[in-house]
Amino acid sequence: MSAQKFTSLKNHFLLAMPGLQDPNFTQAVIYICEHSEEGAMGLAINHPIDVPMSRVFEEMQLAYPSRLGKRPLLCGGPVQRERGFILHKTSAGHWESTMEISPDVSITASRDILCDIASEKGPEDSYITLGYAGWGPGQLEEELANNSWLTIPADPDIIFSIPFDQRARATAAKIGVDIDRLSSQAGHA
């Protein structure tokens, strides 16, 4: 039996299939930030929560423009929901813990970027997410083999330009799939 070659899905979307039983991922679009043989980490990009960004700025005692304060936070996933991540367009700005995922998209998890966002010196497009989606070694590959997810090359326009409620449809359309026609029944040829 030959070992399969590992293929990283970093900078890809995972689109939850209708048969995925975990309610945390109903119609989720997950942006994969890291994927190696040790596991994977991603952020849901289409699950806004009823908490505005103003709550974060106020807890950090930061002054901010009201239009920014009205933007919703995103539920990035079910793991460590108290932990925040900023998903943003890659920019010339430098923050303590920025990880470039692609030439267009980065993730930062340090306070300094929030200060810059509040004072309008941060990246042009950004979202604050709470929590993340995580998989242990081989877990994501097993879920893919069970047809729990569709994998699609990431598109920064979907992350930063498409309304939240249209991101799953736009993601599926990138590979010619109509999400209304997806079945919860999986099959293997």
pLDDT in tens, 38-57: 999 999 999 999 999 999 99
* Residue 3, pLDDT above cutoff 80: no
What band does 1 get if pLDDT is binned at 50, 70 and 90? very low
Nearest to 21 by CA among 162, 147, 130: 147
| More reliable by pLDDT, 124 or 102 | 102
DSSP state of 10: T
Distance CA 160, CA 132 (A): 18
CATH number of 12-180: 3.40.1740.10
What pLDDT, on a 0 to 100 scale, did the predictor assign at position 33?
A: 97
What does the block give as tokens for 11?
A: 């900078």
Confidence at residue 94, expressed as pLDDT on a 0 to 100 scale: 81
Mean pLDDT (the chain) is 90
Checking 1-10 for CB contacts under 8 A at 24+ apart, the result is: 6/36, 6/37, 8/35, 8/36, 9/35, 9/40, 9/140, 9/151, 10/34, 10/35, 10/101
| pLDDT value at 65 more than 80 | yes
- Cβ neighbours around 75 below 10 Å, total: 21
DSSP code of 90?
Answer: -
Looking at residue 183, its pLDDT comes to 59
167 class by beta-carbon count within 10 Å (0-12 exposed, 13-18 middle, 19+ buried)? buried
* In contact, 18 and 149? CB cutoff 8 Å: no
Domain ranges of the chain: 12-180
The Cβ-side half-sphere exposure at 84, using a 13 Å CA radius, reads: 17
Does 24 score more than 90 pLDDT? Answer: no
Q: Is the pLDDT of residue 180 over 70?
A: yes
Mean pLDDT throughout 149-158? Answer: 96
